[in-house]
A and B are shown apart, each in its own frame.
Chain A
Amino acid sequence: MTKHRYPTSVPRFYRINQLAGTLLITVAGLFGFAETSFGAEPFAGRWEGAVHIPANEQILVVDLSPDSNGAWTGTITMPGLSLRALPLKDIVVKGDEATFATKVVPGRGMEATFKGRLSDGSLTGNFVQGGNTAPFELKQAGPAQVEAPPRSTGLAKELEGEWQGEFQLFGYPRKVTLKLTNNSDRRAAAEFVVVGKRVNNLPVDLVTQEGSLLTVHSHETGITFEGRFRKDGNEIRGMFSQGPVEMPLILHRKS
């Protein structure tokens, strides 16, 4: 079994951060605000430790924080599995127990649930993934650093509307239709349809515009279109990618 990589470093780090946390709370108290979750709410903060999968121990970092409405938000990071700031869902804190799960889409991230109990400054419990169960143990290591997932930006008026193009994949043509709009909250949305042997309506979860660069993500399918808008040709010239496969794709405004 792999040796636990934390025992020597975590307590020292924890002690330093506990001291820092105490100072922060003290200062915050002086200025009359206490939104710093670390210390104020026992589950809030950054938690560091490990999940003891047999012959595959993994470093685990959990960030938990209540938002302004009191609802919990959180992320997990597992560097050994190349997971960084994976959002959490179904966070329930009750007494000295907390449960939460990873929020993933098919093919991306890792579906897992955690059920832990707080005792003597440690959060210990079970990690369940793929039907397998292993114990985890975490110690508080500072204030929470929950990363908000990226959000769609607004789109310039000239990009709104319906665009069409075609590319070849394994010798077969694929027809692409991309319909871009701005929602009432002034954030972009897209309908992304690829027609090959069958019609694929791709679930788009992120659309961004940075200058002339447009990016459309469908994380669930692993498909991305990234292209540059050219005013002169009234086209978006870019690449359609699905995982490692990239194909040039030029979209023209539907006439």
Chain B
Amino acid sequence: MNNRLITFLLLTIAVPGLGQAQSMFRNDPAHTGVYKGNAPREFHRVKWRFVTGDWVVSSPVWADNTLYFGGDDGNIYAVNPNTGQQVWKYSTGGPVPTTPAVIDGTLFAGSYDGKFYALDSKTGQTKWKFATEGERRFEAKGIHGLQPKNQTIPDAYDVYLSSPVVVDKTVYFGSGDGNLYALDVSSGDLKWKFKTGNVVHASPAYADGAIYFGSWDSYFYAVDAATGKERWRFHGGEDELIHNQVGFQSSPAVANGTVYTGCRDSNVYALDAATGKEKWRFNNEMSWVNATPAVSQGKLFFATSDSSLFHIIDAANGKSVQKQQSKAYMFSSPAIAGDVALIGVVNGTLEARDINSGELLWDYQVEKSKRNEGWVLTADRKFNFPLQFYSNWREAPAAATVRQFNIGAIFSSPLVVNSVVYFGSTDGYLYAVE
């Protein structure tokens, strides 16, 4: 056997052996959102659905023929992907709207209880826990123009926790305490932490020795993965008036020396991974980009919230290739599998779109969304704002947001394995559709 053949075989075996394939948020440490195999171009059936006790905002991951995800009911779940039966569950002290990472038999995930967990992925037994300085949601005085203007109000749209990325025996994640943490995967010991000026609920991406992430302090950072030293920072938009057009909720994707990230300032930015210099920006006219862009075949795929557009743009120059109108906010990050892009919509619909035209191939609306209690949706599945956001006072706007989200919203980024699509919904279910 010649050396080239041996190298090829080693690579072939080694890649899944790293335990990274489909086993962390957006599939890989660079968060490209591209999955092996093909996604279905036609909807056939719901294979199974697995019930939890609360919203499922987390995105499922796959490792060793098992699905893993977090629930807002405080549990981390392991589920058999063939039967939809529970393998184990682990109770944390708070909601788990984060996507676990599973590497070499260990599952890593954070919780709103302020702790970060390492569990045995086979049994769900605790390996170690790490206490952060405490979780919190982004908040600001009179946020989004709510009243009273001088009162600090939590952001009802801050629905995710940072999802960990694992590289070279180190697990990295952001926290509501404003830190980006680097912990030893074996012991949970702190290697370093990097302090930002506000909540970090975006998920860090890794490429070429650097960790990339955004904070709600309006800065996007690149830090050295080994030392935690800052390499560069990029300043996004500010909004001193109503704190609406500020902060990085979107997580970055890194490809070909470029970092792509959405921002609440309504831009998608392409930054030079080495220097942080802006290559281009794509403006979405006041509409947030909370979804993490997917990068495939020289194109960037992302979706917007208020304008509810699915965009395909040229990754090299930020020029629009295609855009398609959806019906409601999209926070979910698109997953690319074969020639299909899958994305969740906050109105309780999963959409499958052609990656060339962006056109809708099929969609699946969860039952709770179909019931449309309280007329949260119009008959054509758009949000029925007059019946929800009728008051700017007391807790009415937050209650309206919760009513919207309760419709069966799909914040989860879909996972595609063997042509089966897995995703969570706020109706409390994890779905497997094919």
Residues of A participating in the B interface, judged by any CB pair closer than 8 Å: 53-56, 80-83, 109-111, 129-132, 134, 170-171, 243-247
Chain A residues near B374 (CB-CB < 8 A): 53-56
Binds A, one of B63-71, B156-164, B290-298, B379-387: B379-387
Binds A, one of B1-9, B22-30, B234-242, B311-319: B234-242
Across chains A and B, which 7 residue pairs bring their CB atoms closest together, nearest first?
Answer: A244-B145, A131-B379, A130-B378, A56-B374, A110-B386, A55-B373, A82-B390
* C-alpha gap A54/B370 in the complex (Å): 13
Pairwise interchain contact B392-A56, C-beta atoms closer than 8 A: no
Pairwise interchain contact A56-B145, C-beta atoms closer than 8 A: no
Pairwise interchain contact B380-A129, C-beta atoms closer than 8 A: no
Q: How far is the CB of A194 from chain B (nearest CB, A)?
A: 15
Given A55-B374, A82-B391, A83-B390, check contact A130 B379 (CB 8 Å).
Answer: yes
Residues of B participating in the A interface, judged by any CB pair closer than 8 Å: 142, 144-147, 149, 237-239, 241-242, 245, 371-375, 377-380, 382, 384, 386-387, 390-392
Chain B residues near A244 (CB-CB < 8 A): 142, 144-147, 149, 242, 392
Q: Is the interface of A mostly helix, strand, loop or mixed?
A: loop
Return the chain A residue nearest B392 by Cβ.
A244
Chain A residues near B384 (CB-CB < 8 A): 129-130, 132
Chain B residues near A81 (CB-CB < 8 A): 386-387, 390
Return the chain A residue nearest B283 by Cβ.
A197
Pairwise interchain contact B373-A132, C-beta atoms closer than 8 A: no
Chain B residues near A110 (CB-CB < 8 A): 386-387
Q: How far is the CB of A112 from chain B (nearest CB, A)?
A: 8
A82, A244, A246 pick with most chain B CB within 10 angstroms: A244
* C-alpha gap A53/B386 in the complex (Å): 13
* C-alpha gap A75/B147 in the complex (Å): 27
* C-alpha gap A54/B371 in the complex (Å): 9
* C-alpha gap A247/B238 in the complex (Å): 16
Chain B residues near A171 (CB-CB < 8 A): 237-238
* C-alpha gap A171/B238 in the complex (Å): 9
Q: How far is the CB of A167 from chain B (nearest CB, A)?
A: 11
Return the chain B residue nearest A245 by Cβ.
B241
Given A170-B245, A244-B142, check contact A109 B386 (CB 8 Å).
Answer: yes
Chain B residues near A55 (CB-CB < 8 A): 373-374
Given A130-B384, A245-B241, check contact A54 B142 (CB 8 Å).
Answer: no
Q: How far is the CB of B301 from chain A (nearest CB, A)?
A: 26
| A-B contacts besides A82-B390, A130-B384, 16 pairs, CB < 8 Å | A53-B387, A54-B372, A56-B387, A83-B390, A129-B387, A130-B375, A130-B386, A130-B387, A131-B379, A132-B378, A132-B384, A171-B237, A171-B238, A244-B142, A244-B147, A245-B241
Pairwise interchain contact A56-B373, C-beta atoms closer than 8 A: yes
Pairwise interchain contact B378-A131, C-beta atoms closer than 8 A: yes
Chain A residues near B142 (CB-CB < 8 A): 244
* C-alpha gap A80/B403 in the complex (Å): 15
Q: How far is the CB of A82 from chain B (nearest CB, A)?
A: 4
8 chain-A/chain-B pairs, Cβ below 8 angstroms: A56-B373, A83-B390, A129-B386, A130-B375, A130-B377, A130-B378, A244-B144, A247-B241
Chain A residues near B382 (CB-CB < 8 A): 130
Return the chain A residue nearest B142 by Cβ.
A244
Chain A residues near B238 (CB-CB < 8 A): 171
Pairwise interchain contact A132-B390, C-beta atoms closer than 8 A: no
Pairwise interchain contact B145-A245, C-beta atoms closer than 8 A: yes
* C-alpha gap A219/B2 in the complex (Å): 77
Chain B residues near A56 (CB-CB < 8 A): 373-375, 387
* C-alpha gap A158/B395 in the complex (Å): 45
Return the chain A residue nearest B238 by Cβ.
A171
Chain B residues near A111 (CB-CB < 8 A): 386
Chain B residues near A82 (CB-CB < 8 A): 390-391
Q: How far is the CB of B156 from chain A (nearest CB, A)?
A: 15
